[in-house]
Amino acid sequence: MRSSIPGLGRVMVFLAAALASASFAIPEDWEEEGVQYGQLGTDVTLPCPGFHASSPVRWRRAGATALPEGSAIQQGSLVLPSASLAFVGAYSCHGEDGGLLHTVSLRLGHLPGVPFVSCRASDYENFSCSWTSSVETFLPTRYITTYRKKSLTGEEKRRNRNGHVGLCLQDPSRPGTCTVHRSEFWSSYRLNITEVNPLGFSYRLLDVTMQAIIKPDPPEDLVVEPIPLAPRRLHVSWKYPSSWPKEPHFQLRFRLQYRPIIHRSWSVVETVNLSEVITDAFAGLEHVVQVSAKDFLDAGNWSEWSAEARATPVRDLAFTASEETTTDARLESLAEESSQAPNPEPINHSDPLEKMAVLVSLGIFAFFILAAVLVITILIWITGNLGNPDAQEGFLGSSAAIALIPRLRVRKHGKDKTKPSFLVAATHLRALPSELGCRMENGAGECGTGNAEHGAGQ
């Protein structure tokens, strides 16, 4: 059932075009009275309406002394075999007395071919289609341009029982184009472009999806200006094309291309803004800039490039001679490049200050990470040693040793000063293991005596 509906629709469109072409095939409908059309390469017969069978007829060709070679008169009509463009002209038939009976102008050509059709939407509310003939017919030609929406709602089907067939309006000031107004961005349409001439017709059906054919007009009011005190920078600004509706639901993104006048390849930058700063321009050298637009969601195609705008960055008076030499060398190498195609890869316009800021931020981050790792390592080591009895004993022994270090009183220059004796400290540290062991086994009393004696011996 589904397959029969599109087939039926196509037959209806075909029949409508056939009926229209049948009416156009009548010479009077082409507003050229006394003209007869014929197809090249076929036999063409020119009738003589005032002919009487009882009297002979004589045919003449205007501007010629003889009729075309191979022509013949049959029952008063002139027959031209295998007509060619050389047969085109005015013919007249005359009676026996030489009186004029009829005059006809013969025009020869070809049947229409299937036209070439392409469609484009410069915004999301209207789209236009253009076409060219695939065959040079040498005859006057007219076009029937219609469309229908492929998917209809129930209400639309009730309102338009003919399948919502509408006219794609032709503009006399723009031959070969037609426009569908108030189209729907999310809908699909079928275009019928029928080419008609006095010999017949031919048509092309084209399915159109708005998202696929959207192609904005180029951006407008492109302005390029140098930035004071910035020898390598240019400020570029532009506006939306006037044909694009100014609503936030369908925005555009932009592509900027620029080059020095001596450089034949382009640098390309993409942005969603209406302005951009070029940061790698050559100081004191004129640059060429263009911009194009595309639907923000990447539907359709890029617009054509805008008209060129030119500007020259300011010169840096602080350049040294060596820097100028380096710049000249770079420009010479750029001029020798042979590529003229735009470079589709965007250029990295990072500022050196931004790069330095990123490096400093990374360094600070790394410092804090290392400090955190070091603190965590120390805490883990201390926690592990506190859980080990031998480590605790060593730690307590060291503390006791420090507590037992005697302090000597030394008289110097008549003043008493107390200083730790490092020799005595070392001696107590050697005796500390046995002292601690003694405390643990026999009690503090006996070892205290031994230590007192040991101290007295010292």
pLDDT-wise least confident of 130-139, 244-253, 280-289, 390-399: 390-399
Q: Where are the chain's structural domains? A: 35-109, 116-212, 220-311
Model's pTM, two decimal places?
0.56
Distance CA 4, CA 23 (A): 29
What would the two tokens of residue 42 be? 């076929």
Class of domain 220-311: mainly beta
Question: What are the DSSP calls for 411-455, one per residue?
Answer: EETTEEEEEE-HHHHHHHHHHHHHHHHHHHHH-HHHHHHHHHHHH
Q: How many C-beta atoms lie closer than 10 Å to residue 83's C-beta? A: 20
State the fold for domain 35-109.
Immunoglobulin-like (2.60.40)
What would the two tokens of residue 194 be? 């029928």
Matching fold, domains 35-109 and 116-212: yes
Q: Between residues 55 and 308, which one has the greater pLDDT?
A: 308
List pLDDT tens digits, range 81-119: 999 999 999 999 998 888 899 999 999 999 999 999 999
List pLDDT tens digits, range 197-253: 999 999 999 999 888 999 999 999 999 999 998 889 999 999 999 988 866 678 999
Distance CA 271, CA 286 (A): 23
Class of domain 116-212: mainly beta
Distance CA 151, CA 352 (A): 56
264: alpha, beta or left, given left = phi > 0 and alpha = psi -120 to 50?
alpha
Count how many residues are written for the chain. 458
CA distances from 1 to 161, 309, 422 (A): 18, 58, 110
Question: What element of type H or E holds 10?
Answer: helix 4-24
